[in-house]
């Protein structure tokens, strides 16, 4: 049986899809906060749609005619990010050959979306706090104070309260950002929205690729609803695009889904095959049992070694990219980050 999406119309808000109670709560909160001037903090795992919510907050607000400026705080070094956010004057540093307007100035009269806000250094946290409180700052290398009027919308996939408790994020900045928090639930917590999301992405990629795919088999939908979605909606979108490109008919069957979504493929560690992995685990177990046979803690030690080796190998396979590693392992990025710190694998991760 095939579900045909050609005549349905799923509820959406600025590209956000979902009719579940979890998503309805997100839509409601977005609409309620948009008309205010309050700072918004978007919280949720990678791929849950935080930028879509940020854009909706801006476009539903009185600032909709102003600019919407996006900055990924985790993509730049501290020096580059400071210049990106606040601008610089000629001669401020070696490559500053002319004055440059920062993103906060560019966002004047509109909104600025600071993604991965947890990546800010302590120094930049202080400067951001001043912007939030005083609405002013200086360009890098300048003494002239610039006043700015823009709404700050921040996003994080980490628990800022926990980071504040650990001394890694300023507590006063956290409270200044956390005026109106909006939590975006992971896709695995509202699988009932998956058919509507599939419909949306089918239409999008069928049109882009000149295909006539309008439906998906019940079997395919069943697999999609049962999968854990470590990459959330972004991962689902990628798999639907893949299926549309590979489809030869007007519907998507389960055979067009990646094997691991169908529960058929175990995690692959580099180029190692099943025998190699079994040999590796056997060696680790044997070595640990020989070294700690008498302390009564062999189970915990062996499991720790196997877990560390697995994470290490997948990190190397993904060239240290944590988002890809978490997706391959089937765990969320926050869990992976904790495991990396626990096993001392920071040098292998980025």
Do 232 and 47 contact (CB within 8 A), yes or no? Answer: yes
| 48 backbone dihedrals φ, ψ, rounded to 5° | -90, -5
pLDDT above 90 for 90 = no
Shortest CA distance to 35 belongs to which of 13, 12, 57?
A: 57
What's the whole-number average pLDDT of the chain?
Answer: 85
Token pair, residue 98, equals: 């002319």
pLDDT for 24 equals: 93
The answer to whether residues 227 and 284 belong to one domain is: no
The answer to whether residues 44 and 153 belong to one domain is: yes
The answer to whether residues 206 and 124 belong to one domain is: no
**Where in the sequence is the domain holding 257, given as residue range(s)?**
2-8+190-262
Residue recorded with tokens 């519907």: 251
pLDDT for 7 equals: 42
Give the chain's domain count: 3
Q: Against a cut of 0.85, is the pTM above it?
A: no
Mean pLDDT, range 106-131, rounded to an integer? 95
Report CA dihedral (330, 3, 237, 7) to the nearest 10 degrees: -150
For residue 274, name the pLDDT band (cuts at 50, 70, 90): very low
Residue after which a domain boundary falls, among 262, 286, 313 = 262
Shortest CA distance to 150 belongs to which of 39, 244, 247, 226?
A: 39
Please report the DSSP string for 264-315 in residue order: --PPP-TT--HHHHHHHHHHHHHHHHHHHTTSS-HHHHHHHHHHHHHHHHHH
> Which segments within 145-194 are labelled E, that is strand?
145-147, 151-156, 180-183
pLDDT tens figures, 15-52 = 688 899 999 999 999 999 999 999 999 999 999 999 99
The answer to whether residues 131 and 246 belong to one domain is: no
pLDDT above 80 for 58 = yes
Do 104 and 131 contact (CB within 8 A), yes or no? Answer: yes
Shortest CA distance to 244 belongs to which of 218, 207, 219?
A: 207
Q: Cα-atom radius of gyration of the chain, to the nearest Å?
A: 24
Residue after which a domain boundary falls, among 262, 292, 310 = 262
The answer to whether residues 44 and 124 belong to one domain is: yes
| Secondary structure percentages of the chain, helix, strand, coil, to 5 | 50, 15, 35
Token pair, residue 126, equals: 């202080």
Do 229 and 188 contact (CB within 8 A), yes or no? Answer: yes
pLDDT above 80 for 220 = yes
């Amino acid at each position: 049986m095939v579900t045909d999406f050609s005549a349905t119309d799923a509820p959406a808000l600025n590209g956000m899809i979902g009719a579940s109670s979890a998503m309805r709560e997100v839509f409601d909160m977005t609409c309620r906060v948009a008309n205010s001037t309050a700072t918004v903090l978007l919280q949720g795992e990678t791929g849950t749609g935080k930028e879509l919510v940020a854009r909706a907050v801006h476009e539903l607000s009185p600032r909709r005619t102003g600019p919407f400026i996006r900055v990924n705080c985790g993509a730049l070094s501290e020096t580059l990010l400071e210049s990106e956010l606040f601008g610089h004057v000629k001669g401020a540093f070696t490559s500053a050959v002319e004055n440059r307007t920062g993103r906060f100035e560019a966002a004047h009269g509109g909104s600025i979306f600071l993604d991965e806000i947890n990546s800010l250094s302590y120094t930049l946290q202080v400067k951001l706090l001043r912007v939030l409180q005083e609405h002013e700052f200086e360009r890098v290398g300048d003494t002239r104070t610039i006043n700015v009027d823009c709404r700050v919308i921040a996003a994080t996939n980490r628990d800022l309260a926990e980071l504040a408790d650990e001394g890694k994020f300023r507590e006063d900045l956290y409270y200044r950002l956390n005026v109106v928090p909006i939590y975006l639930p992971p896709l695995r917590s509202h699988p009932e929205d998956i058919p509507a999301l599939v419909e949306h992405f089918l239409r999008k990629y069928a049109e882009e690729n000149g295909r006539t795919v309008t439906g998906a088999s019940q079997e395919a939908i069943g697999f999609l609803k049962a999968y854990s979605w470590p990459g959330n909606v972004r991962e689902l979108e990628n798999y639907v695009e893949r299926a549309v490109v590979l489809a030869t008919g007007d519907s998507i069957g389960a055979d067009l889904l990646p094997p691991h979504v169908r529960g058929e493929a175990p995690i692959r560690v580099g180029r190692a095959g099943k025998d190699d992995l079994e040999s590796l685990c056997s060696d680790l177990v044997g070595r640990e049992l020989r070294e700690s046979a008498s302390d009564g803690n062999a189970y915990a030690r062996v499991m720790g070694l196997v877990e560390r080796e697995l994470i290490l190998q997948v990190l190397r396979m993904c060239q240290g990219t944590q988002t890809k590693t978490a997706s391959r392992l089937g765990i969320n990025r926050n869990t992976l980050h904790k495991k990396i710190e626990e096993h001392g694998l920071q040098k292998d991760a980025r």
